[in-house]
Structure 1
Amino acid sequence: MQYVKLGSSGLDVSNICLGTMTWGTQNTQQDANDQMAVALEAGINFFDTAEMYSVPPNADSYGKTEIIIGNWLKANSDKRQDIVLATKIAGPGLSYIRDGRPVNGADLISAVDDSLKRLNTDYIDLYQIHWPNRTSPHFGKHWPGFYKLSDAESAEQSLQMAEILKAIDECIKQGKIRHWGLSNETPWGINQYLKLSEEQSLPRPVSIQNEFNLLHTKDWPYLIENCIHEEVAYLPWSPLAAGALSGKYADGQRPAGSRWTLVQRNGLFRDTPYSRQATQAYVDLAKQHNITPSQLALAWVKQVDGVSSTIIGATTIEQLNEDITAFNIELSDELQAGIMRIMQQYPVPF
């Protein structure tokens, strides 16, 4: 296992981060226990969750994943120091979470306390803003004209960010969280937080997690360059494009128990004719090189300059082991060239 610095935090994390969002809907407590055991045995020390999980998000599944991790921590308290535990506060828009209102300082402090209780821990290593208060180009909203960037008033957003930063600072001073990060943000968002943290002597963000995969590369190069030079760890989520790049949804297949058989909050926005064509091309390329499609996709993400730790998720131990193995694969020049040809043919497939 390889380890990297988590941005400017000084924490060493594995270059694989175990995502947990299926725990509580698709996976049971025992499934989760088994996955954590396999991950630790492989040297993975970085676990990521969120108050909103499990997914698909709804009022009944809210908080279930944190509770599952908390149950494991209660039974394995001696392992708490061995893991870097990350969780997230949900942004606005979900009526059953703080009535869907934007994140503010008081709510953040309360949310941290609630997560600590569910997680059965005294501290959170990395606390993240799941998505910003303003609309951002994520979850399929990255096409020009999908929404108006000018609808967000910068002065108002900056005031909200400053309030969030002060609440984070209070939580850090109280020992409740160690570091903080962003998710589903943009270069402007990162830089505004960095500016405010410097101006007001408040904690700077150490990481950002955004969707990044062979079907969705919008963060390269601009946001990722920003991360490299500002010491903000870049943590790709959905490196398999919600499972699409495994090839399991080819020809309209919907394997029993798979995520695409469940009702999705934002619909199956990744399932387009171009995505299906691109995925099939990557599947064929992987077979030519005697690796699985999932391993191809994960090995590619790992080697992108600027990627710190890749967030993987699995519903079975077999999938988890396959994914972990991918990080030992070095892509040949021939394979890299084949990937580039497909990417140039399908640059923005969804």
Structure 2
Amino acid sequence: MKYSKLGRTGLDVSRVCLGTMTWGTQNDQKDADEQMAYALDQGINFIDTAEMYSVPPTPESYGKTETIIGDWNRRNPNRREEYVLASKIAGGGVKHIRNGGEIDGEAIISSVDASLARLQTDYIDLYQLHWPNRTSPHFAKHWPGKITFSDVDRDAHSAKMLEILQAIEECVKAGKIRHFGLSDDTTWGINEYIRLSEQHDLPRVASIQNEFSLLHAKDWPYLIENCVHEDVAYLPWSPLAAGSLSGKYLDGARPEGSRWTYSQRQGLFRDTEQANAAVKAYMDVAAKHGMSAVELALAWCDQVDGVTSTIIGATTLSQLQEDVDAFELSLSDEVLKDVAEVFRQYPVPF
């Protein structure tokens, strides 16, 4: 297993981060125990979760994933130091979480305490904001005209960001969290948090996790360049585009028990004719070079300049094994050339 620095935190994290959002709905405690054991045995020392998980998010599924991880921590107290634990506070708009309220200082304090209780640990290594209070161009809102920026009250959002940082500092001083990061945010969001932290001597943003894959690479090059030069770790999530790059959803297929058979909070916005065609083309490239489509997609993501650690998730141990093995691959110039030809045909397929 290879490792990278997590921003300026001093932490070394594995190039593979184990995502856990299926634990509690598609996976039970036994499945989670098997995945944790396998991941740690493979040298994976980075685990990502969120208070909102498992998915799809419902009042019944809220907190289930953290609870499952907490049960593992309770039974394996001596292994907590072996891994970097990341969790996230949900943003506004989810009615069953703080009545849909936005992230503010009070929400940070109460949510950290609640997550610690569910996780059965004394500290969270990386505490992340699941999405910003303002609407950001993620979840298919990256097309011109989907959202506007000029009507956003910049000063009001900046003031709330300062309040969040102050609450983060309180949690850091109390030893409840060690570092903080962002998720589903933008270059402006990163830089405004950096500006505020420098101006007020508050904790500095360590990382950002955004959706990134062969089907959704909008963060390249501008946001990732910013991450590299500002020492902010870039953590791609959904490198298989919610499983579609495996090919299992081609032409409308819906394997029993798969994620797309569940109701999705944001809808199946990745399910487009262009994405379907792109997946077929990438599968052809993979077959030509003697690898699976999953191996191609994950190995490609890992080799993108600026990527720190890629968040993967699996519902079966065999899927997890295939995913982890992909990070041992090194794509040749010929493979990358073939990938680039497909990418140019389908740069923004959803």
TM-score (norm 2): 1.00
| Residue of structure 1 equivalent to 2:90 | 90
Distance 2:250 2:182 in 1: 33
| Residue of structure 1 equivalent to 2:2 | 2
Q: CA deviation at 1:107?
A: 1.1
| Residue of structure 1 equivalent to 2:234 | 234
Q: Does 1:268 align with 2:268?
A: yes
Distance 2:141 2:23 in 1: 27
Partner secondary structure for residue 127 of structure 2: strand
| Residue of structure 1 equivalent to 2:117 | 117
What code does the residue aligned with 1:224 have? Answer: I
What code does the residue aligned with 2:201 have? Answer: S
Distance 2:103 2:202 in 1: 18
TM-score (norm 1): 1.00
Partner secondary structure for residue 190 of structure 2: helix
| Residue of structure 2 equivalent to 1:144 | 144
Q: How many residues align?
A: 350
Distance 2:295 2:104 in 1: 40
Distance 1:130 1:308 in 2: 18
Q: CA deviation at 1:223?
A: 0.3
What code does the residue aligned with 1:185 have? Answer: D
Distance 2:46 2:347 in 1: 31
Q: CA deviation at 1:340?
A: 0.2
| Residue of structure 2 equivalent to 1:251 | 251
What code does the residue aligned with 2:130 have? Answer: H
Distance 2:41 2:33 in 1: 12
Distance 1:282 1:181 in 2: 32
Q: CA deviation at 1:250?
A: 1.0
| CA deviation profile, 1:196-247 (whole Å, cap 9, x unmatched) | 0000000000000000000001000000000000000000000000000000
Q: CA deviation at 1:148?
A: 1.2
Q: CA deviation at 1:290?
A: 1.0
| CA deviation profile, 1:179-211 (whole Å, cap 9, x unmatched) | 000000000000000000000000000000000
* Counterparts of residues 169-184 of structure 1 (less than 5 Å): 169-184=169-184
Over aligned residue pairs, what C-alpha RMSD do you find? 0.5
| Residue of structure 1 equivalent to 2:71 | 71
Q: Does 1:191 align with 2:156?
A: no
| Residue of structure 2 equivalent to 1:322 | 322
| CA deviation profile, 1:254-312 (whole Å, cap 9, x unmatched) | 00000000000010000000000000000111111111100100000000000000000
Q: CA deviation at 1:150?
A: 1.9
What code does the residue aligned with 2:129 have? Answer: I
| Residue of structure 2 equivalent to 1:347 | 347
Among all aligned residue pairs of Structure 1 and Structure 2, give the percentage whose two residues are the same amino acid: 64
| Residue of structure 1 equivalent to 2:164 | 164
Structure 1's consecutive aligned runs of 4 or more residues displaced over 2 angstroms after TM superposition are none
Partner secondary structure for residue 149 of structure 1: coil
Q: CA deviation at 1:151?
A: 2.8
Partner secondary structure for residue 271 of structure 2: coil
Partner secondary structure for residue 51 of structure 1: coil
| Residue of structure 2 equivalent to 1:33 | 33
| CA deviation profile, 1:14-44 (whole Å, cap 9, x unmatched) | 0100000000000000000000000001000
Partner secondary structure for residue 203 of structure 1: coil
Partner secondary structure for residue 205 of structure 2: coil
What code does the residue aligned with 1:190 have? Answer: I
Distance 2:134 2:14 in 1: 31
Partner secondary structure for residue 206 of structure 1: strand
Which ranges in structure 2 are unaligned for 5 or more consecutive residues?
none
Distance 1:253 1:317 in 2: 22
Which ranges in structure 1 are unaligned for 5 or more consecutive residues?
none
Distance 2:288 2:253 in 1: 22
What code does the residue aligned with 1:192 have? Answer: E
Q: Does 1:282 align with 2:282?
A: yes
| Residue of structure 2 equivalent to 1:135 | 135
* Counterparts of residues 329-344 of structure 1 (less than 5 Å): 329-344=329-344
Q: CA deviation at 1:149?
A: 1.4
Partner secondary structure for residue 61 of structure 1: coil
Q: Does 1:81 align with 2:69?
A: no
* Counterparts of residues 205-244 of structure 1 (less than 5 Å): 205-244=205-244
| Residue of structure 2 equivalent to 1:52 | 52
Distance 1:151 1:52 in 2: 29
What code does the residue aligned with 2:50 have? Answer: A
Distance 2:306 2:112 in 1: 29
